[in-house]
Structure 1
Amino acid sequence: MLGLLLAGPGYAQQAAPPPTPAKEITKPAKPRKLTRKERKELARRAAVDAAARQRPNLSEKDREMSEAYFVDGVRFLLLEDYNKALERLLKAYALNPTNAAVNYKIAETNLLSGNLKDATNFAQVAVKLDPQNAYYYLLLAQIYASQKQYDEAAQVYTTLIKAVPNSNYYLFNLADLYMAQGKLNEALAAFEQAEQKFGPLDEVSFKKQQIYLKQNNLDKALQEGEALITANPDEVRYVLAQAQLYATNNRLPDAIRVAEKALKQDPDNPRARMILADVYRQQSNAPESERQLKLAFESTTLDIDNKVRILVDYIKQLPNPALNQTAQDLAAITTRVHPKEAKAFSIAGDIQTVTGNRAAARANYLQAIRLDNSRYQIWQQVVLIDAELNQVDSLLTHTGQALELFPNQAPLWFYNGVGYQLKKQPGKAIKSLEYGRKLATDNPELLAQFDTQLGDTYHELKDFAKSDAAYEAALTFDANNAQALNNYSYYLSLRGEKLDKAKEMAGKLVKQNPDNDTYLDTYGWVLYRLKDYAGARQQFEKALKTTTDATVVEHYGDVLFQLGEADKALAEWQRAKKLGGASSLIDRKIKDKKLYE
């Protein structure tokens, strides 16, 4: 009882008291957690027992004082007040320095408070005073290990095993310590000694396998695996571990043989299928590898997180014509097998996104949201796809729903504003964009996107001062902002204002993007407004090499008319009308064969 009481709850001891050796180790049951009142009573009883072992010439008064100090010290130690605990325990030590229990508790208190030097000294004394108490050895070994004095710690375990009866259980501690040091031969010897005492143990076989693998002794490692299978014929996990060992070490035919053995025991085992899939992949047998992987994914016992990890690995390799369909099939299986898992639909949406199937991706994301609407990233993906597909109603619906959950996310306000702008509701667009802009002050790049969009929207409202200011703000952050350069210069040309500035911006953009028909058209129209008709013609003709846009064709007709080629101009106006999308003046131009602006 004294040994148990003085050990304290969970501080110094690393294991329960050593059991009687047997064929199998039965660890003692974990004790229930004591109440504070019970701990106090146990500490008091410990003090009484310790007092019985004090020096016989200790006076009764000193004995009582020593007991009281010791009990107080243990109480403060339990409360983790190490300063007060050490103060009381040292007073007990002053009265009775040869009491092993007092030395042990002082050592433990010093260890917990970080004073390893004193902890070592007092623990050494405790062991000398009571060499039959296993806990004292364990504390001393722990103190040495804390100082990375592993040789000394190993020696303490060795002495413990020899000196204390029924302590062979600590051979496992000794072996683990050797493994941590990289002393593999010594660890093997300790494990083998333990097996001699307790018989074959699964955990020991696994650790011996680890040692043999570190020693590049594959045959010995495999022998341990076969021994485990023989000893546990109904345990499929040992068969799978052996198959994995073969696969990892490029013994592929053996890996297939053992994995198929596992499948005979458990036909639906997904881990066996995964091992086979990997082996067949290494053998360049893609069809069989894919078949095994799909069979593994069909199993509900392969949890969703493992499936997601595998699919993430696929995403890293996509898009890839050789893998796209497989990835999509695996994602479809995952959503079918796990219909209530949001992450299944989320990863399926990711795969559809990177393989270019936007509509299917959005459908999966929306199902993920129905199951769990708390992930902002999924909402963001839905909104981005709405914008890419130019589905304005969906964009407004989804941004509205998302903003109810994430009102402080500036990108949602941006796309909500874009949606209203596309719906020709510039007032609502301005409201969303201005609000979102306030939330984006710590993100200059996003702020520039807000400014560019505000420039476009204020232009629609004919608030040209605010429009120009917004474009200027966007270009202050990014002087090469293509949307701002193009729209700002084009709108200035329409207004006939700051045309030199417009020319500079449009020319810069065309220089950076010489084949972009939209930018060529803008530059051409700026030159047109500057009455540089020859230069404008040159830009329009470049643009028409890659586009049949009605606006560009109509502009080309306008510049031809200005250059005195009225017949050619009429032909271009007629072509623009036929294409659809020309200006409201196109019919008058054609009817009167005359330029209207």
Structure 2
Amino acid sequence: MPRMLRFVLAFLALVCVGCTPRSAPDLTPPAQWQLSPAARTDFLFLKAQALLAEGNAPAAAQALSRALEEDPQPTLYLELAETYWRNEERQKAKTILKEATERFPDQFAFVANLAQIYMAGQRPKAAAATLRSYIQDHPDNWTARAKLGEIQVRIQAFADAVDTLQTIPEPEREPEHLFFLGQAQAGLGLLQKASDNLQSAVDKAPQMAKAWAELGYIRERQKDYPAAITAYTRLSELQPDNQEVLIRLIELHLELNNPDKAQTLAESGPGTESFRLRCVDVFLQNGFYTPARAMLDTIRESADFSPKTYLYEALYWYQKERNPARAIEALRQIPASAPFYNQSLHFLGQMHLERDQPEQAVQVARKGKATFPDIPDFWLLHSNALRRQDKPQKALEVINDALEKWPEDTDLLYQKGLLAEALDQSDTAMASMEQIISLDPEHADALNFVGYSLAEQGRELDRALVLIKNAVELRPENGYILDSLAWVYYQKGNYAKAWDIIQEAVQLSTEDPTIWEHYGDIAAKLQKTKEARRGYRKAIELGAEDQTSIDKKLQTLPEPAPL
């Protein structure tokens, strides 16, 4: 019988059995057909395709298994493995692929699919071992090496990935190989090599969007913003509906202080309110208020703009105009049904505190606690408002109530520490801050609090030094933390080191009287009388609490030598 006729007859037979019960598919061709083994294989293969089309993967797998018995060919192994995979029978898929690799050891498709199953089962080592075994017998299969390199990149074994991918000769490196090599080099911090390989990838494959995206990101890390813009612009051309790319281009143009271009890009994007509000957010975060205002005005021209616009109006009035009253006016337009009402309500309370209206802030906080009992921010707001009313004990009670619900919330614990310190409950304050450090070893403020407190008491100075150094690493531009570091060195008797650091601290925090008093103390120890006098006088000028003590320090300084 001609092969084409066999296929036609098999297909017609499958159409005729469309109403066969799903639980018991008929996998036997009519006896009168007298099909050869090859024809029976064709029949079973087509039967499996029909069953897959019906959504009956288990029966399709039975048909393919029977076909394999008739003719164990590579295509059938792959079909059966894929069918098991679709039916989420990964173990069976793995078993059939292992059998296929033993029968057809040169077929890379089986190895690639087996590695994929291992990766899906969170077994990257097994996937890599499978590929390495194949590569050992097929050293010139660059596709296998590339697949191994890809897996190594995905599990962040970047050094191994570079070693693997670099064994592919340069003339044989496909764009995909160069892409993963660039990713691996970027993971090792080899940014220039990474950008070179990614550039080669897009030169060979200009439509490779993921390579343009990675190249743009690497150029950003190199702070080569014009080159990053070039990459993202090309990506935007390939993916014109990708709003994330457009937003990133807007941010980069703002980074280059080109708000006009950023605004043009924003106006060229989707005219949806959600996209425009995202642009407003970007402009506000980067301090470019004119385009933010223009875009808000455009949104307000619509008769049915959403309440979220009022939230950004409030941000604009607060950040640009420093006008809490206008911000409050905008926030009061937001209905309680808005999905972001909790944010707007908390912002409203903060604006009342900004206007020195603690009673109104208390009312907002109470409403927030009742409406959103699972959001601790309203307990913090309530506590801050009570503290502003000079009610630290009540403020502490609110925080203690909150800690009953959220005992490991570091914001609440930090507020408790500050309030306890204000109430002269030093042991409670230190215990709270120590708890924060145990929960979050990178909480810079708690590290600084404990370190400075130890330095003030002149005890555990070595630990104090470690704590504050950690805080400085986390926030190197914070003048208060640098002051703490200087003070630890002062207490340890290293006045020269303290002097170097305190000079930087007063430049970063010029209006703090305590820092200036420390400046004076350190200068006095180094017999820098002029600088000591300057520090003490500045502390008094800025309203230091214990001015009598500072006056006494001034009196003990030696008089300047006569000219």
Instruction: Give TM-score, length-normalised by structure 1.
Output: 0.45
Using CA pairs under 8 Å that are at least 6 residues apart, name the structure with larger relative contact order, 1 or 2.
1
Structure with bigger gyration radius: 1
Instruction: Give TM-score, length-normalised by structure 2.
Output: 0.47
